Amino acid sequence: LGGSISRAIQQMSNATIIDEKVLNECLNEITRALLQSDVQFKLVRDMQTNIKKIVNLDDLAAGHNKRKIIQQAIFNELCKMLDPGKPSFTPKKGKTSVVMFVGLQGSGKTTTCTKYAYYHQKKGWKPALVCADTFRAGAFDQLKQNATKAKIPFYGSYMESDPVKIAEEGVERFKKENCDLIIVDTSGRHKQEAALFEEMRQVSEATKPDLVIFVMDSSIGQAAFDQAQAFKQSVAVGAVIVTKMDGHAKGGGALSAVAATKSPVIFIGTGEHMDEFEVFDVKPFVSRLLGMGDWSGFMDKIHEVVPMDQQPELLQKLSEGNFTLRIMYEQFQNILKMGPIGQVFSMLPGFSSELMPKGREKESQAKIKRYMTMMDSMTNEELDSSNPKLINESRMMRIARGSGRHIREVMEMMEEYKRLAKIWSKMKGLKIPKKGEMSAL
Ligand code: GDP
Ligand code: MG
């Protein structure tokens, strides 16, 4: 999806005159892409109609920044589609809330329950987990294992087969223990679909949840709308969590889930681990849908981990797009200071996976230090040039000698430099955003 949408916008950006034909072509391509990404047909059609209404071609002809107007319209429209207009119920620390999780088996409920509990526990809450999945063998063990690891109290049973009874008992117990966030995990499968929805209805009736969260796998496909709607019809779904956003799926189904449940997405799951869980943010999500997310997320990461006083300079350099060896040197310094490169550079395609593969951080750090030693033997002219050709063979020999390394290693470093420079150059012209501002458009 991202690919074709950004391609569509790119094509549009390249066209000198934005007239109705170009606008239509662009919209058609985006429409196709959204459909491919499992957004419901009706939603796509609505978006198309709205954009045509918003983008007044006469205004465009008046010579304002045409591309910006259309891009912004598409972006805003997608953001609007993710906003059901009212926030979900938000539990309050210190007051008892019951939160029930629903969703099909395999969608990530049990994992997400623990992440949700852990997220709040870190903020000083007293969460507890109740396993009301008696259908799947091992369901209780899985929850127990997760809960134990996170030191979160849990409740369940190997003997009792009635999920309603367990849910009721669990919620009762944790209310007595003054837990402020009682999380009920449910089953996602039944011999009969109707029986599953009836069970959800009964568990909900017995536990009176303040919030029901629908958990959806981002790679679910076209089924997203119907699935979300089916749950909504049996229980009062009030929020959505989209899981497995670390995979290939761009999560276009989230738009359908929001439309079907009239509820906002509140978190996304980005991995199997307990802390791979993020508060949902509409703008970066839409940026990602549009194939711009890598940059937007990257910016947020920079704001998060690069020392405040160094940010303006780094962003300035980024927007200029010239990646000198000196910039690489400074970034390596940052990386070594900050620990694993994963933090910042994993946001960029190709950065972390090749320079610092997961699980091999130690080796990669040694490599970075080696590169820095070699760069210490470079002249200012070499460090400040963004032309790799300047560093010819005789210069490489000198650098190798000066740093006591082999010329082969200098060549390897220059290859790395060229690779990073290529990625860096994609950021040329990037608007420098303030924290929290969207950066891609
Ligand atoms: P449930 O049947 O709905 O309770 O789903 P589970 O919580 O058992 O999760 C099913 C599988 O998806 C497990 O292997 C999880 O580790 C995995 N999973 C859940 N959330 C995520 C996520 O955000 N990213 C990835 N990569 N895997 C996830
Ligand atoms: Mg489960």
- How does DSSP classify residue 310? G
Say yes or no: 119 and 256 in one domain.
yes
Say yes or no: 236 and 131 in one domain.
yes
Say yes or no: 186 and 128 in one domain.
yes
Q: Return the amino acid letter for 175.
A: K
CA atoms within 13 A on the CB side of 261: 35
**CATH number for position 53:** 1.20.120.140
Assess whether the C-beta atom of 110 lies below 6 angstroms from ligand 1. Answer: yes
Say yes or no: 136 and 63 in one domain.
no
- The 10s digit of each residue's pLDDT in 249-265 is 778 899 999 999 999 99
Is residue 12 domain-resident?
yes
The two tokens of residue 67 are 């591309």
Say yes or no: 110 and 70 in one domain.
no
Is residue 287 domain-resident?
no
Assess whether the C-beta atom of 251 lies below 6 angstroms from ligand 1. Answer: no
Assess whether the C-beta atom of 141 lies below 6 angstroms from ligand 1. Answer: no
**Beta pairing class for 181-186 and 154-155:** unpaired
Number of folded domains in the chain?
3
- Residue among 374, 359, 361 at smallest CA distance from 415: 374
**End of a domain among 54, 81, 108?**
81
From 187, 272, 280, the mutation candidate for ligand 1 (largest count of ligand atoms within 8 A of CB) is 272
For the ranges 161-175, 242-256, 350-364, 368-382, the lowest mean pLDDT is seen at 350-364
Q: What is the pLDDT of residue 365?
A: 81
- Residue among 189, 180, 197, 191 at smallest CA distance from 231: 197
Domain assignment of residue 53, given as a range: 2-81
Assess whether the C-beta atom of 385 lies below 6 angstroms from ligand 1. Answer: no
Distance from Cα 167 to the centre of ligand 2, integer Å: 14
Block residue for tokens 């199997």: 272
Say yes or no: 274 and 402 in one domain.
no
Distance from Cα 133 to the centre of ligand 1, integer Å: 15
**End of a domain among 37, 52, 81?**
81
The two tokens of residue 233 are 């019809």
Is residue 10 domain-resident?
yes
Assess whether the C-beta atom of 138 lies below 6 angstroms from ligand 1. Answer: no
Say yes or no: 135 and 198 in one domain.
yes
Say yes or no: 267 and 189 in one domain.
yes
Q: What is the pLDDT of residue 341?
A: 41
**CATH number for position 110:** 3.40.50.300
Helix ranges (H only) for 177-292 are 193-207, 224-234, 253-261, 282-289
Pairwise CA distance, residues 436 & 76, whole Å? 16
Q: Does residue 244 contact residue 218 with C-beta atoms inside 8 Å?
A: yes
Say yes or no: 263 and 412 in one domain.
no
- Residue among 126, 106, 222 at smallest CA distance from 182: 126
For the ranges 236-250, 277-291, 359-373, the lowest mean pLDDT is seen at 277-291
For residue 428, the SS3 value is coil
Is residue 168 domain-resident?
yes
Is residue 320 domain-resident?
yes
Atom nearest to 268 CA in ligand 1 = 23
- Residue among 4, 10, 3, 1 at smallest CA distance from 441: 10
Say yes or no: 168 and 244 in one domain.
yes
Q: Does residue 340 contact residue 361 with C-beta atoms inside 8 Å?
A: yes
Say yes or no: 324 and 229 in one domain.
no
Say yes or no: 73 and 101 in one domain.
no
pTM: 0.69
H/E element, 44: helix 41-54
Assess whether the C-beta atom of 188 lies below 6 angstroms from ligand 1. Answer: yes
